Structure 1
């Protein structure tokens, strides 16, 4: 329910408004009535309304001063002013304070119900739009996390798949041009943070983002070039062989660093150093993140029980798996499947 406060020094006006709202404006409830602006401010602090409908000319504190004070407290409260023909110019002045609209006295059912019902429908649309944006951001952020790993490993094919997946998901979300621009900016900021956490510092990490989907692709390409130029990728065959072995053997709960190092001709200390440089992760963290990524795919792509998925990605101890999953994903495995499976 949207909470309404009415403000007028005439009792009959407030009673008439309450009756109109209760009978003709579903989704609204009058939670308070005030005779002047000072009393109304106290109600605003106490009731946290969604809508304030106020007269212009009142004792103690005028409607104009009231809406100015409310705006200092909150940008979210919808403000509607009432006026007679004689003070119509003040109602127009009130529009400068972000007032939604004005009503002319005497109040009539059609004008009040049309304004409030339109406001309610607008609120519902904004709520639905916000939820659609958040769900798209959530999914695309997960793809960007994968993209950061692909960039660090210089996986060009994977990078292309991730960028295409982001573009496809945003297209499905039916976002406005402004929302798409904001989303791409948010994703670029996320990618910058993830790459910076892996140890790469460049001018690009602080440069303002521009360019939407194309800009995100350019940013990813810039990072790939910077990472490639900063290492002898391809010459460290031991690391590439180790990663391939991890990708094949990750379901084995006993997979260990010692087993991986035994496949190479380098010392454990040097292997650790190369692993961190190449992937941005040590062996333990890389293996956990790879297993969690595989678990996410299985949770969304089939009917396996969550404990069965845990076993398939190398965690026969389900409570341990669930704890790790929530730490890295932010949701339990069952909540992840339930929430993400709806999109």
Structure 2
């Protein structure tokens, strides 16, 4: 239900509005009524309404001041002003504060229902667009986490595959050009954070006229150049062997740090230092993140139940898996799957 607050110093006006909304505007609910702007502000902060319908001329605080104060507090609230013919110039003034529309008194059922029902349809459309954007963002951030790991390990074939996966996901989600540009900007910032957590800072890459996807690819290339210049990957064969072993055995719940160190036959102190330098993570964090990356892939695929996925990535204790997943991902497995559009 979309919440509505009405504001007018005449009780009959508010009663008439409530009746019209209840009978002719499905999907809306009047959650508060105020006699002046000051009282209305308290109700707005209490209810965070979707719509405020306010008169212009009122005691204590008039409608123009009220909508200005509301707009300072919330950019999302839809504002509608009511006015008589004598106040028409004030209604026009209100438009500069982002007022959606105005209603002339005495109000007609057709005018109110047409305006509010139009708002409802617009809200449904925006909600669908937002859900599509959020779903795409969640899917792509998971790929970017893998991309950051591939960059850090200088796995060029791997990160090119991730770039293709991101491009295909964004291209298939019917996003507008502005939404794509915003999405690529968000993913760039997320990639920089992933690399920063591993100890390297990335500089801004100057945009060109070739588009947001091209800029994202050039940021990835820049990240690869920075990593190459700051690391001596390949000189520590023991760590490469350790990573290969982890990638092959991550699904085994018994896989341990001691097992890996014994396999590569180096001292624990050397292993701790070199592993952190090469991966940007300690062994425990690296293993958890690698397992969760696999979990996200399986959740996105939709072929397995969540408890089956937990077992497949080395977590036979399902409650422990869900706890770890939410801690690192920010959502429970079921919430993540829902955001991916899989129910």
What's the TM-score bracket when you normalise by the shorter of the two chains?
A: 0.7 to 0.9
- Alignment: residue pair count: 341
Residues 81, 102 of structure 1: 8 Å contact kept:
yes
For the residue of structure 1 that corresponds to 2:135, the secondary structure is helix
Shift of residue 152 of structure 1? 0.4
The aligned counterpart of 1:127 is 127
Q: After superposing the two structures, state which structure 1 stretch, 70-79 or 273-282, moved more.
A: 70-79
Does 2:218 align with 1:218?
A: yes
Is 2:70 the partner of 1:70?
yes
Question: Contact 1:185–1:209 at 8 Å: present in 2 too?
Answer: no
Matched ranges for 1:297-336 at <5 A = 297-301=297-301, 303-336=303-336
Aligned counterparts of 1:180 and 1:88: Cα–Cα separation in 2: 41
Q: Alignment partner of 1:203: what SS?
A: coil
* Structure 1 pair 319–84 and aligned structure 2 pair: CA distance change class (3 A): closer
Change (3 A) 1:21 1:214: same
Q: Confirm or deny that 1:274 pairs with 2:282.
A: no
How far apart in 2 are the matches of 1:311 and 1:320?
11
Which residue of structure 1 aligns with residue 227 of structure 2?
227
Aligned mates of 1:156, 1:266 — CA distance in 2: 28
**In the alignment, which residue of structure 2 is the partner of 1:98?**
98
- 194-203 vs 36-45, which moves further: 36-45
Alignment of 1:237-252 (within 5 A): 237-252=237-252
Whether the 8 Å contact between 1:57 and 1:63 is mirrored in structure 2 is yes
Cα displacement (A) at 1:142: 0.9
How many angstroms does 1:140 deviate by?
A: 0.9
2:254 and 2:240 map into 1 onto residues whose CA distance is: 21
Distance 2:302 2:48 in 1: 45
Higher relative contact order (CA 8 A, sep 6+): 2
Describe the superposition over 1:228-261 as per-residue Cα deviations: whole angstroms up to 9, x where unpaired.
1222223333322332222223333333334433
CA distance in 1, matches of 2:336, 2:46: 37
Shift of 1:197: 0.5
Gaps of 5+ in 2: none
Say if 1:266 and 1:24 are closer, same or farther in 2 by CA, change over 3 A. Answer: same
Tell me what 1:54 maps to.
Answer: 54
d(CA) in 2 for partners of 1:110, 1:2: 19
What value does the CA root-mean-square deviation take over the aligned residues? 2.7
Corresponding residue of 2:145: 145
Q: After TM superposition, list the pairs within 5 Å mapping 1:166-181 onto structure 2.
A: 166-181=166-181
TM-superposed CA distance for 1:185, in Å, is: 1.2
Residues of 1 paired with 2:306 and 2:38: CA distance? 57
Superimposed CA distance per residue, residues 113-170 of structure 1 (whole angstroms, 9 cap, x where no aligned partner): 1111111211222222222221211111111111111110001111011111111111
Whether the 8 Å contact between 1:8 and 1:36 is mirrored in structure 2 is: yes
1:117 aligned residue? 117
1:260 and 2:247 aligned: no
User: 1:323 Cα shift?
Assistant: 3.4
Match of 1:163 in 2: 163
Shift of 1:335: 4.6
Separation (CA, whole Å) in 2 of partners of 1:117 and 1:254:
59
Contact 1:188 1:209 in 2 (8 A): no
Distance change (3 Å), C-alpha of 1:317 and 1:79:
closer
Distance between the aligned counterparts of 1:218 and 1:315, measured in 2?
38
User: Structure 1: which 4+ aligned runs deviate by more than 6 Å?
Assistant: 207-210
CA-CA distance at 1:101 after TM superposition: 0.8
Does the residue aligned with 2:29 lie in a helix, a strand or coil?
strand
Aligned to 2:86: 86
In the superposition, relative to structure 1, how do residues 273 and 101 fare at CA in structure 2: closer, same or farther (>3 Å)?
Answer: same
CA distance in 2, matches of 1:169, 1:191: 17
1:189 shift after superposition = 1.0
In 2, the alpha carbon distance for the partners of 1:43 and 1:289 equals 45
* 1:209-243 Cα distance to aligned partner (Å, 9 max, x none): 78521111111111111111222223333322332
TM-score normalised to the size of structure 2?
0.87
Measured after TM superposition, the shift of residue 15 of structure 1 is: 3.3
Of the two, which has the highest radius of gyration? 1
